[in-house]
Amino acid sequence: MLRNKNIILGVCGSIAAYKSAVLVRLLIKAGANVRVILTADAANFITPLTLATLSKNPVYTRYFEEETGVWSNHVELGLWADYMIIAPASANTMAKMAGGLCDNLLSAVYLSAKCPVFYAPAMDLDMWKHESTQANISKLTSFGNTMIAPNNGELASGLHGEGRMAEPEEIVAFLTDTIKKNLPLSGVKVLVTAGPTYEPIDPVRFIGNHSSGKMGFALADQMAVLGADVTLISGPTAEKSTQQVTRINVTTASEMLEACKLNFSGTSITIMSAAVADYTPVHVASQKIKKATEEFSIELKKTTDILATLGKLKTKEQILVGFALETNNEEEHAKGKLIKKNLDLIVLNSLNDAGAGFQKDTNKITIFNQSLEKTVYEVKSKTEVAKDICTEILKLRMA
């Protein structure tokens, strides 16, 4: 959920500021881009150098750095961020946020931010319970800010009660869960197939194709970005997911068939982008076949059509998307496949189009829906193509 997200972490003056080092480390580990803003009082508890080292970015403390002549553009920082977290959030900073005061860089960035804002209070028990603090919390909630509630525990004053800042692991988990809940496919189970299948001839040779799996992996990643719980069934490929997906590795068409049948019934969306072999050898030699004759023939038999099999099992609530890679009569073949195999969408690739086909980082597609309406797209990176396909699937779910 946090991979490649831009996050501003505001750190206020509190003994809990020492936890911000761990928080930065966890955010970076999750794949986020982090920029830290320290208030003047926060710098008394943790050094800019520590947080700059962990975040791999300069730490912002003032509007203008006299030593370097660099101006910290609060508007630019506010627009850069996908999310803003203030942790620890002191009673003083919370009051400024609630009242619209703007006397330091952190409050200026807060007022400029267009992104969701999360804050994790840290203060002593009496400060936390004070009516003014509780009133400020109510006001911040009405502004759309999200509080990460403090824990009940031992406080720096020696008292025991509410006011202890949430642990860094809890903050990251809260942020991740909140983001996922607000995504369009949160909790939706998705099945994606990718890559080629290898049909063995003997222990060292096989029948296969040139599929790299890039398109299928891009689709699985994009579905995960949209909040889906993704199962990716992949043939042999060197590709790796950039998001959290459940990966099932297979080699042959029969193995992919069994994996699909096992996982299909529980899914809401299935995208079949794998390049499955149409034929497999009737007999597989147990030993390596020697080059003993001038000519050699291999008897082949059809593999089970996985897409057609799933099309027969599909319920009205499920969405099934297929791919058609064609070299002639492309649109007719794609539309025929859509109807015959009971698909909701079919994505057409033509090897006649520049930038499309196997092992490329780009693709050019045409999508047909059940009404045979077509949408033609220009050549794009496979990541952008995956977004286009997912957009069409989202339209189906909202229809």
pLDDT at 70 over 70: no
Work out the average pLDDT over 159-177: 90
So what's the pLDDT on residue 357? 60
Domain boundaries, the chain: 6-181, 189-398
337 marked as binding residue: yes
Which comes out higher in pLDDT, residue 61 or 351? 61
Residue 209 among the catalytic residues: yes
What does DSSP say about strands 189-194 and 229-234: parallel, antiparallel, or unpaired? parallel
pLDDT tens, position by position, 15-32: 999 999 999 999 999 999
pLDDT at 66 over 70: no
Residues 33 and 4: beta-carbon distance below 8 Å = yes
User: Which CATH superfamily hosts domain 6-181?
Assistant: Flavin prenyltransferase-like (3.40.50.1950)
pLDDT tens, position by position, 372-396: 999 999 999 999 999 999 999 999 9
Task: Report d(CA 223, CA 319) in Å as an integer.
Answer: 14
288 marked as binding residue: yes
pLDDT at 109 over 70: yes
pTM for the model: 0.77
Residues 1 and 179: beta-carbon distance below 8 Å = yes
341 marked as binding residue: yes
pLDDT at 69 over 60: no
Residue of 355, 351, 326 whose CA lies nearest to 338: 326
Which comes out higher in pLDDT, residue 201 or 328? 201
312 marked as binding residue: no
240 marked as binding residue: no
Same fold, 6-181 and 189-398: yes
Burial letters 290-313, b for 16+ CB under 10 A, else e: eeeeeeeebeeeebebbbeebbee
Lowest mean pLDDT across 135-149, 164-178, 264-278, 339-353: 339-353
Give the distance from CA 374 to its chain's centroid. 28
Work out the average pLDDT over 192-221: 95
The CATH-assigned architecture of domain 189-398 is 3-Layer(aba) Sandwich (3.40)
Write the CB contacts of 29 (distance below 8 Å, at least 6 apart in sequence): none
Write the CB contacts of 194 (distance below 8 Å, at least 6 apart in sequence): 213, 215, 216, 217, 219, 220, 232, 233, 234, 235, 237, 239, 273, 274
Judged by DSSP in three states, 193 sits in strand
pLDDT at 137 over 70: yes
pLDDT band at 355 (very low <50, low <70, confident <90, very high): low
Work out the average pLDDT over 92-107: 94
Active-site hit among 6, 73, 209, 342: 209
So what's the pLDDT on residue 71? 64
